[in-house]
Amino acid sequence: MIARFAARAVSRPTRIVAARATTVRFYSEDQFGRKEKAHEDQYVRQHEKEQLKRLRAQLAKNEQENAELKKKIEEHENPKA
């Protein structure tokens, strides 16, 4: 009878400790998930920023080419004698 009582007493703290460890683990995973999401969001913002920079550079280049073509058209329409 004492052996059964001792076995129960030993098993109960193990369950309590396991439950606490699980709670801490879920909390840690939640923090990890938030941190990982923050890193992903930062990466996306940086990627979008780089895309905007490239698109603006491409737009400036296209506008310059457009201005040059308009200038050539003007030269052909109004030839100087």
Whether 56 maps to a domain, the answer reads: yes
Answer whether residue 74 is part of any domain. Answer: yes
Range of the structural domain that residue 42 is part of: 33-80
How far is 9 from 16, CA to CA, in rounded Å?
12
| Tens digit of each residue's pLDDT (9 = 90 or more) over 25-78 | 555 678 888 999 999 999 999 999 999 999 999 999 999 999 999 999 999 998
Q: What is the pTM of this model?
A: 0.52
Lookup: tokens for 51: 């895309």
**2 falls within a domain:** no
If you average pLDDT over residues 2-31, what whole number do you get?
Answer: 59
The tally of domains found in the chain comes to 1
Per-residue pLDDT at 11 exceeds 60 = no
Q: How many angstroms from the chain centroid is the CA of residue 17?
A: 36
- Give the model's pLDDT for residue 65: 98
- Concatenate the DSSP letters of all residues of the chain into one string: -HHHHHHHHHHHHHHHHHHHHHHHHHHHHHHHHHHHHHHHHHHHHHHHHHHHHHHHHHHHHHHHHHHHHHHHHHHHHS---
Check residue 30 and give its pLDDT: 84
